[in-house]
């Protein structure tokens, strides 16, 4: 049975205020009151030898982690002898320190640069799988005024978050956009300025703001950065070198990754079931709604599979690793191929 900790006193309004935000808020260091620490038998604890396994998420329980929840609900962990503890995340709930200090067996970090930065500072970590094989970062415009390609950005007023500004500027320059012809307007993650037509497009995530707007009856056009030469894996699974060097701990991590991949395959096959699992498991405390989660899962599904039905989930191909390194290097992050390993996905 998987155990979850949820934020106390989290009502529907407060949940919706943060749930639509990208987990890049974590990287931006936003300060939002969140959850208290959750008890768990983590890596290296006395529960490890008994099949106990702890994983720390970057964000709150939602469709972004559907495969993990389905794997638990369908007994895929239990069948393989794992008793999984899932620790939710949030803006003030960092993942990297929990993995670095072996308080959890595995972490799921929203963006790979958070792991790469820790490694550059001396942490012994490896990225062991990619939950999103394609980045959902996108320019989002209104369906009746679509921005279809980078050159159409010129002459537009663009809503940009603090966390996304550097990446957005690099993307525009790499695609030959004259930044001097673009007006950047600071916004938060709320897509209201786009709905109000105060801006022509906003920086966001294909699985977040377009879903939120669709639920309000506002149709959008999504232009993923990955379609124009700026892709990097996201929602990455990572482990400490200590875990990978310990045969028993590595085997538990391999088992978790196998069951989670099967859980994602099941979630993609039956998205309604997956949404139902999420809502029934967390709806009472987080205000999750079936339609919201179903739409979010449908929106994120192509990014989980990388847009190719034959792609092996979580697998970090040489091409994807190269794309990730190229994209991160362009925004000033130091990393190389040694950060990535498929050893928990082989076989």
Asked whether residue 343 carries a pLDDT value surpassing 50, the answer given is yes
Q: Residue 23 — very low, low, confident or very high, per pLDDT cuts 50/70/90?
A: very low
Q: What is the DSSP letter of 93?
A: B
137-228 belongs to which CATH class? alpha beta
Categorize the per-residue pLDDT at 287 as very low, low, confident or very high, splitting at 50, 70 and 90.
confident
pLDDT on residue 283: 66
Taking the CA atoms of 131, 134, 139 and 143 in sequence, report the sign of the dihedral they define. Answer: negative
Distance CA 141, CA 220 (A): 6
Rounded Cα–Cα distance for residues 50 and 9 (Å): 33
d(CA 232, CA 184): 24
pLDDT at 34 over 80: no
CA atoms within 13 A on the CB side of 141: 18
Q: What is the mean pLDDT of residues 169-184?
A: 95
Q: What is the DSSP letter of 81?
A: T
**Predicted confidence band at 285 (pLDDT cuts at 50, 70, 90)?**
confident
CB neighbour list of residue 124: distance below 8 Å, 6 or more residues apart:
100, 240, 241, 242
User: Given pLDDT bands bounded at 50, 70 and 90, which one contains residue 336?
Assistant: very high
36-45, 279-288, 309-318, 319-328: range with lowest mean pLDDT: 36-45
> Mean pLDDT across the stretch 214-222?
96
pLDDT at position 172 over 70 = yes
Per-residue pLDDT of 108-124, as tens digits, reads: 999 999 999 999 999 99
Half-sphere exposure of 276 (CA within 13 A, CB side): 7
Residue 274 CA to residue 37 CA, distance in Å, equals 27
> Percent of the chain beyond pLDDT 70?
83
Most confident of 38-42, 125-129, 330-334: 125-129
Alpha helices in 129-185 (DSSP H): 165-174
How do the domains of the chain map onto residue ranges? Answer: 12-47, 52-134+233-339, 137-228
Q: Which comes out higher in pLDDT, residue 177 or 28?
A: 177
| Greater pLDDT, 38 or 226 | 226
Q: What is the pLDDT of residue 19?
A: 39
Is residue 42 pLDDT above 50, yes or no?
no
pLDDT of residue 13: 30
Q: How far apart are alpha carbons 281 and 44 in whole angstroms?
A: 28
H helix runs in 20-60, sequence order: 24-28
- The answer to whether domain 52-134+233-339 and domain 137-228 are alike in fold is yes
Using N-to-C axis directions, what is the helix angle for 318-330 and 112-120, rounded to 10°? 70
pLDDT digits (tens, 9 = 90+) for 241-261: 999 999 999 999 999 999 999
Q: Is pLDDT at 151 greater than 70 in this prediction?
A: yes
Mean pLDDT rounded to a whole number for the chain: 86
Q: Is 341 exposed, middle or buried (0-12, 13-18, 19+ CB in 10 A)?
A: middle
Contact call for residues 76 and 47 (beta carbons, < 8 A)? no
Angle CA 84–90–95, to nearest 5: 60
Residue 12 has pLDDT above 90, yes or no: no
What phi and psi, each to the nearest 5 degrees, are found at residue 132? -120, 115
What CATH number was assigned to the domain covering residues 52-134+233-339? 3.40.190.10
């Amino acid at each position: 049975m998987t155990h979850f900790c949820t934020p106390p006193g989290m009502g529907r309004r407060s949940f919706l205020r943060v749930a639509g935000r990208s987990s890049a808020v974590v990287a931006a260091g936003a300060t939002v009151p969140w959850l208290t620490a959750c008890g768990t038998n983590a890596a290296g604890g006395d529960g490890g030898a008994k099949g106990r396994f702890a994983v720390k998420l970057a964000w709150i329980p939602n469709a972004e982690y559907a495969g993990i929840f389905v794997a638990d609900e369908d007994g895929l962990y239990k069948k393989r002898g794992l008793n999984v503890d899932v620790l939710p995340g949030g803006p003030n709930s960092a993942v990297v320190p929990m993995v670095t200090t072996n308080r959890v067996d595995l972490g799921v970090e929203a963006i790979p640069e958070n792991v790469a930065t820790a490694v550059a500072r001396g942490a012994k970590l490896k990225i062991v799988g990619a939950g999103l094989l394609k980045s959902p970062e996108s320019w989002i415009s209104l369906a009746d005024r679509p921005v279809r390609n980078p050159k159409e950005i010129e002459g537009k007023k663009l809503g940009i978050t603090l966390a996304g500004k550097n990446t957005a500027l690099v993307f525009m320059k790499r695609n030959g956009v004259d930044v001097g012809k673009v007006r950047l307007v600071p916004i938060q993650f709320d897509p209201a300025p786009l709905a109000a037509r105060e801006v022509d497009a906003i920086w966001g995530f294909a699985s977040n703001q377009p879903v939120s707007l669709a639920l309000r009856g506002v149709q959008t056009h999504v232009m993923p950065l990955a379609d124009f030469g700026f892709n990097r894996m996201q929602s990455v699974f990572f482990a400490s070198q200590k875990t990978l060097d310990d045969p028993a701990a590595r085997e538990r991590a391999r088992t978790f990754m196998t069951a989670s991949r099967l859980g994602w395959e099941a979630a993609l096959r039956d998205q309604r079931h997956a949404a139902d699992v999420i809502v029934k498991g967390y709806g009472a405390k987080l205000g999750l709604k079936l339609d919201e989660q179903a739409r979010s899962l449908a929106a994120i599904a192509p990014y989980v599979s990388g847009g190719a039905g034959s792609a092996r989930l979580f697998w970090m191909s040489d091409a994807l690793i190269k794309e990730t390194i190229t994209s991160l290097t362009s925004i000033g992050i130091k990393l190389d191929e040694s950060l990535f390993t498929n050893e928990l996905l082989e076989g």
